[in-house]
Every structure is written in C-alpha cells, then in structure tokens.
Amino acid sequence: MRNRALGSILIVAGTTIGAGMLAMPLAAAGTGFGVTLGLLFGLWALMCYTALLLLEVYQHVPADTGLGSLAQRYLGRYGKWLTGFSMMFLMYALTAAYISGAGELLSSSLTDWLGMPLPPAAGVLLFTLVGGAVVCIGTSLVDLFNRFLFTAKTILLLVMLALLLPHIHQVNLLTLPLEKGLALSAIPVIFTSFGFHGSVPSIVSYMHGDIKKLRRIFMVGSFIPLVAYVFWQLATLGSIGSPAFAALLANHAGLNGLLQAIREVVASPHVELAVHLFADFALATSFLGVTLGLFDYLADLFARKNSASGRLQTGLLTFLPPLAFALFYPRGFVLALGYAGVALAVLALIVPALLARQSRKHHPKGYRVAGGQPVLWLVFGCGVAVIVIQFSITAGLLPAIS
C-alpha cells in the first residue's frame, strides 16, 4: 500500500461504524438529541484517549508485540489472563454475530439471484471462507478490501442522510428524555459504537510503530465515526422525533422498528434499500477489523509464525470457534453479546489505564498522553461504571434499550 496511514484510518473508522450504528437511534429515542449528543462527544473523547494510552505503552516495545505479551510484561500473569479473556470473549462473540448475520443475508441474496433456495448455513460457510481468507492473507489485503467497502458504505450513508435531512423539524430535537434511567442505559450502546481497541496492535504493527502517524490515525479514525453518528442522530431523531419513535418501537422492535419509522417519514423504498445495503457493508467492514485484531492476538498468544502454515493455523483458531457457534449454537453468542460492553470496558478502559500507569513507572521519558495519575484513575473508574451499568441493565435495575 502506498499510503498505509490512510488505510489504517479507514480500518479504525470501518471497524467502528458497524451495523451497531443502526441501534443508536433506538437508544437516542428515549434520551433525546441533546443528551445523546453529550454522550457521543464524551464517550468518543474517552475512547480516543485510551487508544492513545495504548500507543504510549507501545512506544517502548517492538511494534509487532501482541496485546497479551504487553499485558504480561507490565501487569504480570493475572493481567495477561484478564486481557486475554476479555479480548477473546469480545472478539469471538462479535465474530460469531457477524458471521451469522452476514451468512443469513448472503444466503438470502444468493437465493434471489440463483432462483434456488439455499440454507443459511451455506451463506455462513461461504462468507467465513471468503472473509477468513482475506484476513489470513494479511493486513494489506484487509486494507484493500476495507477501502472499497468503506467507500461504498460512505456513499450509502450520504444517500440516507440526503433522503432524511429535508424532513428534519427543530421541535423533534428539543425533546427531553422520556425516562431518567434511559440515559444511563444508552451508555453501553454508544460506548461499544466507538470500540476499535482490539485492532490497535494490528495497526501499530502495520505502521511499524510510527508514533507520530499513529496518533493521527487514531484521532482522525475515531473522529470520522463521531461526525457520522452526529449527522445520523440528527437525521433520524430530527425527522421522526422521540415520542413517535418510541411509539413505533413499541410495536416494531429493533431494526424493524427503525425501518418502519423511516418508511413512514420518507415514504420511499430507496431509503429502506439504502439502510439494508449500509447494514451489509457496515457488517463486512466491522468483521474485517474485529477478526484482524483477533487473528493477530491469537498469533501472538500461541506464538504462531508469520509463514503460510503459521497463518493457516492461526486462521483456524480465529474462525472455527465462532463458525461452530454460528452453525450449531446461535443462542450462545446472542447471550454473549449482552455482555460485550463488559469485555470492551475491560479491554478499552481498564487495561489501557493500568498499562499506562505501569509503563510510566518503567519509562519516565518519551511520548506521554496529557493527564497524570488522577486521569488514569478516572479512566479506570469509567470502566468500572460501564460494567456496573451493563450488569444493572441485565439484572433489570435499569431499562433495556430494545
């Protein structure tokens, strides 16, 4: 690749702007545009900051060091176990979800094109084979595929915004939260929408540890989703409005509720097609970013060589477990996804804060992110808070986002 920095920015942005973006209006419907806007900027700043903390730690180790090795070096055996469990729990659950969702969409599309029924399992196997091959070949090929998919995804997002923006009404954006607890319940949804930290080691290695370029990559790459999310919330909430959205979601939960709400506002089949295609491309780019991070983590964990046979072995470790879940136990990863926010809080907030704290003890000089020990403890506290909120939602103490 002539410009790896651009490709890395798009990998960060592509991993972040996933199909989960379509769930964000569901969260915003109960909190109001003003509260949602504050959460977007606050959580973006927090997640960007912790990515830079990881970069600070990486400057003192070889660029191809895996996150597991990094955790063992600075946090010891138990730190490595905590990092490894969180990484694999999160990445395997997301990979299984992406494989299952994309496989179902692929089999449906092939059935329409070929005029013969294909079971969802066929789509799951085909998607895993093609996507897995791209990841196994290397980051350069992931970069190439991601550039094409991200461009298509951006065009579709602009189409959706162009169709919705003329229907925006200011009064819809001034609605206050419907319930106080919904503002807290929205935090895990928005928080996970900025999660790209599992891909940080792969990007550091891809950029050969160039600190100056990597700072720009993480800041710009995470800022692009922030801008996209703000305009998406502005378009959906501004055109539909929180009360009307909530009423529709009461009868049509999840993505169906979102499509029904958009259909009633725009009354055009083009926007529904754009939303479906956007979800397809968003799912594909998220799959590439997540599995690339998981692949490199497992290669480091099991000390697999960067040879054809070594990458094949790592590929089997990466894709066989989530493929088995998607085929034989689909409810398993659905339940696991309910706790994805917990694993991401550990991986993206708690671990970077602890790593940076230990790294600064060993290396008093070099690149350092602004903020001393109090800020690191604040980040650690935010991680604990996200975990408490997620478990409170699961226990029914806070209202769940449909």
- Within the chain, what is the greatest distance between any pair of CA atoms? 65
Crossing angle, helix 242-251 and helix 24-31, to 10 degrees? 120
Q: Report d(CA 289, CA 86) in Å as an integer.
A: 17
pTM here? 0.85
Q: Is 346 in contact with 82 (CB distance < 8 Å)?
A: yes
pLDDT of residue 180: 62
Distance CA 62, CA 310 (A): 20
Q: pLDDT tens track of the chain, all 402 residues?
A: 458 899 899 989 988 887 667 667 777 777 778 888 999 999 999 999 999 999 999 999 998 888 888 999 999 989 999 998 998 888 888 888 888 877 877 787 778 777 778 787 888 899 899 999 999 998 888 888 888 888 988 888 888 888 878 878 777 777 665 566 677 888 888 888 898 998 899 899 999 999 999 999 999 999 999 999 998 888 887 877 655 555 655 555 455 556 666 666 666 667 767 777 887 788 888 888 889 889 988 988 888 888 888 899 999 999 999 999 888 876 665 566 677 888 999 999 999 999 999 999 998 888 899 888 999 999 999 999 999 998 888 777 777 665
At residue 386, the pLDDT reads: 92
Rounded-to-integer distance, Cα 120 and Cα 135, Å: 22
> Residues 6 or more apart from 236 whose CB is under 8 A from it?
25, 28, 164, 245, 258, 261, 262
Count, in order, helices (H) and strands (E) of the chain: 18, 0
Q: Could you count the other beta carbons within 10 Å of the beta carbon of residue 22? A: 19
Tokens of 108: 């449906």
